């Protein structure tokens, strides 16, 4: 996952997301994230697997205590725990999701994510028009 631009960690999305179909080996995606040599931010590595128009899919690899601070999206959000355990907080509720857990948010729901053990997560966002 290298780029010809020294300011980028990877090739830009317009180069990575070509073609009518995209297939991924998630084990390989997470292995590549784990092997990246740069320092992770807030205890996680991430890569966009798909971005086109209003839709984005991102893979996250969390260390224990890795987190995403409070944020929200102007669209529908799904969080899928591929492996590990995540604590996700909203203003109204706290969710403890293990491997295979799935959580969906309507647009505008503030939330944060904390990995309570090493974890792998897929995040999908579909922005409203």
Segment holding 56, helix H or strand E: strand 55-62
pLDDT at 112 over 80: yes
Q: What is the mean pLDDT of the chain?
A: 88
Distance CA 114, CA 1 (A): 26
Q: Which residue has the tokens 């297939």?
A: 23
Comparison of pLDDT for 35 and 81, the residue scoring more: 81
State mean pLDDT over 55-71: 94
What is the pLDDT at residue 36? 84
pLDDT at 126 over 90: yes
* Complete domains list, the chain, with CATH: 13-127 (2.60.120.10)
Model confidence, pTM: 0.87
Give the residue from 67, 68, 74, 23 showing the smallest Cα distance to 49. 23
10 against 106, higher pLDDT: 106
CA distance 68 to 77: 14
**What's the pLDDT score for residue 110?**
96
Helix or strand holding residue 35 (H, E): helix 26-35
**27-31, 37-41, 83-87: the lowest-pLDDT one:** 37-41
Backbone torsion region of residue 100, taken as left when φ is above 0, otherwise alpha when ψ lies between -120 and 50, otherwise beta = left
**Residue 24 phi, psi dihedral angles, 5° rounding:** -130, 145
């Amino acid at each position: 996952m290298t780029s010809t631009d020294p300011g980028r960690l990877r090739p830009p999305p317009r180069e990575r997301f070509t073609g009518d179909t995209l297939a991924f080996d998630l084990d390989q995606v997470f292995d590549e994230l784990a092997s990246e040599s740069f320092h992770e931010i807030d205890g996680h590595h991430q890569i966009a697997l798909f971005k086109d128009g209003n839709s984005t899919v991102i893979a996250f690899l969390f260390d224990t205590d890795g987190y995403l601070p409070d944020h929200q999206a102007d669209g529908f959000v799904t969080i899928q725990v591929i492996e590990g355990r995540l604590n996700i907080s909203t203003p109204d509720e706290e969710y403890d999701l293990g491997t295979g857990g799935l959580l969906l948010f309507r647009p505008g729901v503030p939330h944060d994510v904390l990995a309570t053990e090493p974890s792998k997560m897929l995040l999908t966002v579909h922005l409203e028009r």
